[in-house]
Chain A
Amino acid sequence: MKKLTYLAAALALLVAGAAQADTLAKIKGSGAVTMGVRESSGALSYTLGDGKFAGFHVEICTRVLADVQKQLGLAKLDVKYQPVTSQNRIPLVQNGTVDIECGSTTNNATRQKDVAFAVTTYVEEVRIAVKAASGITNIAQLAGKKVATTTGTTSVQLLRKHERANGVNFEEVFGKDHADSFLLLESGRADAFVMDGQILAGNIAKAKSPADFRIVGEVLAVEPIAIMIRKDDPAFKKAVDDSISAMMKSGEIAKMYDKWFVQPIPPSNTRVGLPASDATKMAWATPNDKPVEDYAKK
């Protein structure tokens, strides 16, 4: 019986920890905010080592938090970084460990039941990378071939849908992370690597001989990538959205994009070499937080 009481108390604590809907009040009260970041999500969010993080979304979030600090009239705002993974990012935002997640999270309808998203800052296009010498130029040529993708990404499901819709069969091989999947392509264990365009471009840029690889074929899917915040916190969402929309209107966001995706970036000063797509420019012109399902309807 006593054990049950302890269990109930522990559960109650958990629930209490989860209920922190007013992020602005929390930031004001503690003078600190926790930014969720990724270790390696291409140029969107990645680590420079030594607990330092950089990237397009990290820079946007830094600006947003500066605006929040101004709005709250805080003399000092302590920004903490918390690395997150695909598996834990949503629970960590929900339970209050992370206040604003600046990684590479796709905004979709299922996730909107658990969390909220700021206006879309980047629209990802899923593409195919192949060896330039392979002669493959579209997805139809991949039937029966070995196709690499990364475990724990939406691309796995996308390939499955494509197989079912077109009655083709790929021999799928899964890397445990993007670097691993790219190694599969590089070492010839796979004929193609299907993944988000910026991740492909980033990996090719870092390869031993970038000229050996090519991104080919049609855009397999478009996905809005957005900054993630807690659900049912309209005041914080408005603060974040307003700040980002202002950057979109002033054209600052295009400059930031250029800095991370076109110019050489640290730590190795290589270029991703991926100018903003039409879909991304469209998202900046009309700020919105539509989930991926609305993009598919078009």
Chain B
Amino acid sequence: MATWDWQVFCKEITTGEALAGCFGRGGDTTYLDWMLSAWGWTLSVALLAMGVALVMGSLMGILRTVPDKRLVFIGEAWTELFRNIPLLVQIFLWYHVLPSLFKPLQGVPSFVLVVFALGFFTSARISEQVKAGIQSLPGGQRYAGLAVGLTLPQTYRYVLLPMAFRIVIPPLTSEAMNIVKNSSVAFAVSIAELTMFAMQAGEETSRTMEMYLAVTALYFVSAFAINRLALFLETRVRVPGILGAK
């Protein structure tokens, strides 16, 4: 059982011939080439979705803390909607259900759909964290900002958000790592990312274990890189004297 065959990655994906150097040239593609391209898809989906999630999540999180009931309602509704539906179900809604209701959506590539689906799903979680970050600040800060003559948007921009975002960097890091792992659901809508690669290449080569181990390593590397990057960012932006910083 424990006979490994790592040479399988040097094989051409159509002819099954082992190529010297493990990288295909002139129209040849090896399983290694394919896996790296799949990694690219995984990272593209994850990073773009994280962008969408940060923008929408921050916006909705802020709306939930402003003194206007209508805006609070919009923020709450958004968060509860995307937080209470399982991710895979949301992906299918975007891919199968919405395009059959709104015909123009049929022309949208599945890559774009999955970026938005994953982004909106994660935005609900980020909204929750941003709200918690803002609420963790003493109420006096908001009033102080308003008292010195700043408008409400200015109070947010210069007083509340700089502190709130610093507070929520650790949970945001978790979300960024989660989104890399959650991007694996994209295989369900025909994105050639790592999970699809593992299933397909495992079937073609009968070396399922090797494929899954390699893919596991790439997921780990990606998520861990984000973790280190966030740690660097956290150290870089911290303000001496608060949040335990020296």
Instruction: Give A262-295 as 1s and 0s: 1 = Cβ < 8 Å from B's Cβ atoms.
Output: 0000000000000000000000000000000000
Residues of A within 8 A of B188 (CB): 176, 180
Number of A-B contacts (CB under 8 A): 65
CB distance B199 to A151 under 8 Å?
yes
CB distance B187 to A176 under 8 Å?
yes
Q: Does B209 contact A (CB under 8 A)?
A: yes
CB distance from B119 to the nearest CB of A (A): 21
The number of chain A residues with a CB under 8 A from chain B is: 35
Task: Give Cα A67–Cα B216 distance, bound, in whole angstroms.
Answer: 43
Query: Which residues B189-237 have CB closer than 8 A to chain A?
Result: 190, 192, 196, 199-200, 202-206, 208-209
Among candidates B13, B99, B192, B208, residue contacting A90 with C-beta atoms closer than 8 Å: B208
CB distance B106 to A157 under 8 Å?
no
Given A90-B206, A152-B202: A161 and B14 interface contact (C-beta under 8 Å): yes
Q: Does A18 contact B (CB under 8 A)?
A: yes
Q: Does B243 contact A (CB under 8 A)?
A: no
Among candidates B13, B96, B206, residue contacting A110 with C-beta atoms closer than 8 Å: B206
CB distance from A190 to the nearest CB of B (A): 9
CB distance from A32 to the nearest CB of B (A): 22
CB distance from B209 to the nearest CB of A (A): 7
CB distance A95 to B14 under 8 Å?
no
Which of A18, A91, A151, A156: most chain B CB closer than 10 A?
A: A151
Task: Give Cα A11–Cα B202 distance, bound, in whole angstroms.
Answer: 23
User: Considering only CB atoms, which chain A residue lies closest to B195 in the complex?
Assistant: A151
CB distance from B15 to the nearest CB of A (A): 8
User: Considering only CB atoms, which chain B residue lies closest to A190 in the complex?
Assistant: B190
Task: Give chain B's interface secondary structure class.
Answer: helix
Given A14-B2, A94-B1, A164-B14: A174 and B106 interface contact (C-beta under 8 Å): no
Given A18-B1, A95-B1: A151 and B100 interface contact (C-beta under 8 Å): no
| Stretch in A134-142, A181-189, A198-206, A250-258 with 4+ CB within 8 Å of B | A181-189
Q: Does A238 contact B (CB under 8 A)?
A: no
Which of A15, A88, A187: most chain B CB closer than 10 A?
A: A187
Task: Give Cα A157–Cα B192 distance, bound, in whole angstroms.
Answer: 14
CB distance B2 to A187 under 8 Å?
no
Size range of the chain B interface in the assembly: 20 to 34
Residues of B within 8 A of A15 (CB): 1-2
Residues of A within 8 A of B206 (CB): 90, 108, 110-111, 113-114
Residues of B within 8 A of A151 (CB): 187, 196, 199-200
Q: Does A70 contact B (CB under 8 A)?
A: no
Residues of A within 8 A of B199 (CB): 86-87, 151-152
User: Considering only CB atoms, which chain A residue lies closest to B29 in the complex?
Assistant: A160
CB distance A87 to B202 under 8 Å?
yes
CB distance from A57 to the nearest CB of B (A): 19
Instruction: Give B75-109 as 1s and 0s: 1 = Cβ < 8 Å from A's Cβ atoms.
Output: 00000000000000000000010011000001000
CB distance B209 to A157 under 8 Å?
no
Task: Give Cα A87–Cα B187 distance, bound, in whole angstroms.
Answer: 15
Residues of B within 8 A of A114 (CB): 206
Query: Which residues B162-208 have CB closer than 8 A to chain A?
Result: 187-188, 190, 192, 196, 199-200, 202-206, 208
CB distance A174 to B196 under 8 Å?
yes
Task: Give Cα A114–Cα B187 distance, bound, in whole angstroms.
Answer: 28
Residues of B within 8 A of A189 (CB): 99, 106
14 more CB-based (< 8 A) A-B contacts, given A87-B203, A154-B204, A187-B96:
A15-B2, A18-B2, A87-B202, A87-B208, A88-B208, A91-B208, A114-B206, A156-B204, A161-B14, A174-B190, A174-B196, A175-B190, A187-B99, A189-B106
> What are 10 A-B pairs with beta-carbon distances under 8 A?
A87-B199, A87-B202, A87-B208, A111-B206, A151-B196, A157-B13, A160-B13, A160-B14, A174-B192, A189-B99
